[in-house]
A and B are shown apart, each in its own frame.
Chain A
Amino acid sequence: MATQPVDAQLRKTGIGVVGDVPWGTHFFMFYETKEDLLDTLVPYFKAGLETGELCLWLVSDPLTEEEARNALRKAVPEFERYVADRSIEILAGRRFYVSGDDLDLQKAIRTWAEKTDFALTRGYAGLRVSASTAWLERKDWNAFCDYENEVNNSIGAWRMTALCSYPLAGSTAAEILDVTRTHQFAIARRNKSWEVVETSELKQAKSEIKRLNDELERRVIERTQQLTALNEEMRQEMIERQRAEEALQEAQAELVRVTRALDMGELAATIAHEVNQPLTAIVTNGNFCLRRLEGVTPNLDELQAAITEIVNDGARASAVTSRIRGLLMKGAPRRTELDVNRIIQDVSILLRKELTRGDVSVRTDLAPDLPRVAGDPVQLQQVLINLIMNALEAMRFSTEQPRKLLIRSAKSTDGVLVQVHDSGPGIEPGLSTRIFEPFFTTKAEGIGMGLSISHSIIESHGGQLSLVPSPQGALFEFILPVAMND
């Protein structure tokens, strides 16, 4: 059987109530009068001709070929041209189905296939057929039903639409059922207007389609909801990430601030400048005075002016030093209850980049459930940063590999113990007390303030910062007393 891929393109039936149908539509109508036939079939073929289909109209009683032709001629403006190029054939139905005296329905099936092929070869969109069965004899009914059934089963693969007309008068109930069974749907006149009568199969198919559609829609909604949820999740994740980034930036800004505060070079420069300015003036004025006194006749007014300035600048220098002391010991430090482990973690995060750059592997050994201590978190961070940066610098030139840093916290009888232990060259035993003195340094660029200030900070927290003898590297520890409420 010749088959063509059938596309989903819809064809105009020309019958208002039916509308557009896909290729392979096989439907039927019950008619009572000639007018019923003309009423449906004329627009049916008109639509076929005008949409480029090859049309075949098999007529039978009560309609004659002549009447069919005249009716179409009236309805279709270019009808003669269609006839001339054989776009439409109007034949007596019986002649089509009967060879000699016998009904040859296999030939009919073959013909439909061939005609469809022919139509497509000739450039038609497909084949449009209507057949009437008034000529059919009762004895052939069953065979014809089989034929209709076969058409109904095969037509889906063809580019063909078929509208079969059955005379309602004289049809038995069984026959009506047969026809209904062998077609996809029917049109029937009810109260002067045509209606589509759905067969149970079509109903089933339609309900199946509806069910599938509903299912599809449900899945679309479900999928959409999943996607929406996923989207929301991603959006949340982005917000989260953004927050994390902001937090990181804040932490970095905090690090800059803390290290700036700890930038002893900067502090020393400030102190030196502030103190050295008046000292410079004093020394220079003093020298001037000495030079003048060497002269024969010193100008006393000049000397008095210089000495007055010396006195003023001396007072100024003294004011500067007391101001700096005040700066370092800024009144009562802030005291909050805090978790030492948290401070260690914060500082490790802050210094992660420096530690990685220094090729130092850091291990933290933090005791759980430490009691809280009372302190100034920023000051304690500064102490830890100072100890860790010292360790980092000590290990920088160390050939000892790998470079290791251990930060420990533990409970002790006096409070909370924190240790910072590096794998550097360590500190000469003879220096162990001097390292906490102000301006004592072993570093080429150091100014000897870090440990001194750290020592003061821990002391102001009621604790003690000390260097503990260790077989390897330097081990600093401090103990902070437990907060009163804890």
Chain B
Amino acid sequence: MTEPGSIVFVVDDDPSVRRAIKRLVESVGLHVELFGSAAEFMNSSHPDLVSCLVLDIRLPGISGLDFQRDLAKSKNEIPTIFITAHGDIPMTVRAMKGGAVEFLTKPFRDQDLLDAIQVGLERDRSRRQRQAETAMLRQRLESLTPREREVLPLVVSGLLNKQVAAEIGTTEATVKVHRSQLMKKMGADSLPDLVRMAEKIGVTGSKR
């Protein structure tokens, strides 16, 4: 169960709760870092690793819910598990709407917390993968010539080579060349593959 390269951040104002959680989470082989407040968390630097956040709602200074909102605003998409001693329905709704992985009421079952942490880490891992993939695709998109970039949306929108040629005013043979070039450059094996890639980087098929 050891998970190299991942980390669990715990923000809770109660030191004995923090220590207990650290003990529990470390017992399943995860690395844990503790913080007493949202500000403390924000002011420290974090290694760029797969991670998730265990966040108490009732915190000194800014509350856990407001902190979640601030994180979202600053494009920090770290998966968050809320723990609270007294949660009500509106609070839960707000937390879940804000993208929380789980909302646990103290005292929680140890397995519930550990499960939620696993879900959170998994979510972060796939998010990171998606991000890496998108970055790679963008890089590939950059390598296309202007003409190929022009052809791409037309191809992914399902036009035949002949139709693409008519659209951009060239011959079918030329389009064929552009098409095979851009497929190669994007690393796409098939048209559906290319369509998926285009979607990921926000290139939408355009039928004029």
A residues apposed to B, CB below 8 Å: 265, 268-269, 272-285, 287-288, 291-292, 302, 306, 309, 312-313, 316
Contact = CB atoms under 8 A, between A and B. Distances in A.
Contacts of B110: 283-284, 287-288, 291
A276 B20 contact: no
A292 B20 CA distance: 13
Contacts of B108: 280, 283-284
Given A273-B58, A276-B106, A280-B106, A309 B85 contact: no
B86 A309 contact: no
B19 interface: yes
Interface of B: 14, 16-17, 19-21, 23-24, 27, 58, 83, 85-86, 88, 106-110, 113
A154 B72 CA distance: 101
Contacts, number: 75
Given A273-B86, A284-B24, A312 B16 contact: yes
A311 to B, nearest CB: 11
Contacts of B14: 277, 280-281
Nearest to A275: B85
B106 A277 contact: yes
Contacts of A274: 85
Contacts of B58: 269, 273
Given A269-B86, A272-B85, A280 B17 contact: yes
Nearest to B113: A284
B17 A284 contact: yes
A309 B16 contact: yes
Given A277-B106, A280-B108, A309-B20, A268 B85 contact: no
Nearest to B13: A277
A309 B106 contact: no
A281 B16 contact: yes
A272 B86 contact: yes
B145 to A, nearest CB: 59
Contacts of B85: 269, 272-277, 280
**Most chain B CB within a 10 A radius of its CB, from A269, A274, A275, A277:** A277
Nearest to A284: B20
A309 B85 CA distance: 19
A316 B20 CA distance: 15
Contacts of B107: 276, 279-280, 282-284
B16 A278 contact: yes
B20 A281 contact: yes
A279 B106 CA distance: 8
Contacts of A283: 107-108, 110
Contact of A280 (B20, B23, B27, B88): B20
A281 B86 contact: no
A265 B90 CA distance: 13
A410 B14 CA distance: 52
Contacts of B88: 265
Given A284-B23, A284-B113, 12 more contacts: A268-B86, A272-B86, A275-B85, A276-B85, A279-B107, A280-B14, A283-B107, A284-B21, A284-B108, A284-B110, A285-B23, A291-B24
A313 B86 contact: no
A276 B16 CA distance: 12
Contacts of B23: 284-285, 288, 302, 306
B17 A287 contact: no
A284 B108 CA distance: 8
7 contacts: A276-B106, A280-B14, A282-B20, A282-B107, A283-B108, A284-B24, A309-B16
B20 A288 contact: yes
A168 B58 CA distance: 116
Given A282-B107, A288-B24, A277 B17 contact: yes
A274 B86 CA distance: 10
A275 B58 CA distance: 13
Contacts of A269: 58, 85-86
A269 B91 CA distance: 12
A272 B109 CA distance: 17
A284 B106 CA distance: 10
A285 B86 contact: no
Contacts of B20: 280-282, 284-285, 288, 306, 309
Contact of B24 (A276, A277, A287): A287
**Most chain B CB within a 10 A radius of its CB, from A274, A287, A316:** A287
B16 to A, nearest CB: 4
A300 to B, nearest CB: 14
Contacts of B17: 277, 280-281, 284
A313 B58 CA distance: 19
A309 B23 CA distance: 11
B179 to A, nearest CB: 58
Given A273-B58, A276-B106, A288 B27 contact: yes
What are the 5 tightest A-B residue pairs by CB atom distance, in nearest-first order? A276-B85, A272-B86, A287-B110, A284-B20, A283-B107
A329 B14 CA distance: 27
A468 B14 CA distance: 46
A279 B109 CA distance: 12
A299 to B, nearest CB: 10
Nearest to B20: A284
A282 B21 CA distance: 10
A469 B192 CA distance: 75
